[in-house]
Structure 1
């Protein structure tokens, strides 16, 4: 797991937390993508940007922060990047909090 302090800093923004919540159940929050499974592959950056109702630069910055600390994974297919939650890291941070370390 990355530095817990860096993870908590990434989570100190309501929009980044919202992204993680949407990615927990992508089929409930995003429209189907042609030929790309929302759960297995992830959600296209353009859909996340649109749902966030902010410019692409800000959305990309938020996604980059979440990716850098390991909370989401990125997969590039052609010219598009798809994001999904990294459940291993999310579970590790939960265990870290339970231990109180």
Structure 2
């Protein structure tokens, strides 16, 4: 599922969030959609899937859901793929 994401969208989202992780409160789905040129519902679907997989954390800030990478979980999943899982 993660090795071949549909047109690379999930990997693009992860890269974007990792690059922007300096912003302590994360990014909203609107921001992700705008930065990647995606319709908001498409971005939200991918964000929810990545959150369900544990690769992202979702939290509320100023009444809006914001997404951030869970670097520990990403490292765990990376190790699994490197071992040929």
Please list every run of 5 or more consecutive structure 1 residues that lacks an aligned counterpart in the other structure.
1-8, 28-36
Specify which of 8, 11, 17 is matched with residue 17 of structure 1.
Answer: 11
Measure the CA separation in 1 of the matches of 2:76 and 2:54: 11
The offset of 1:46, in angstroms, is: 1.5
Cα shift readout 1:50-98 (whole Å, capped 9, x = no counterpart): 1121221111101001101011111112431111111011100122233
How many equivalent pairs are there? Answer: 83
Instruction: Give the TM-score normalised by structure 1.
Output: 0.71
TM-score (norm 2): 0.82
Structure 2 portions without partners, runs of 5+: none
Report runs of 4+ in structure 1 exceeding 4 Å deviation: none
Pairwise CA RMSD: 1.8
Tell whether 2:20 aligns with 1:26: yes
Query: What SS class does the counterpart of residue 43 from structure 1 fall into?
Result: coil
1:80 alignment partner in structure 2: 64
In 1, the alpha carbon distance for the partners of 2:60 and 2:2 equals 22
Is contact 1:20–1:85 with CA below 8 Å preserved after alignment?
Answer: yes
Q: Determine helix, strand or coil for the equivalent of 2:38.
A: coil
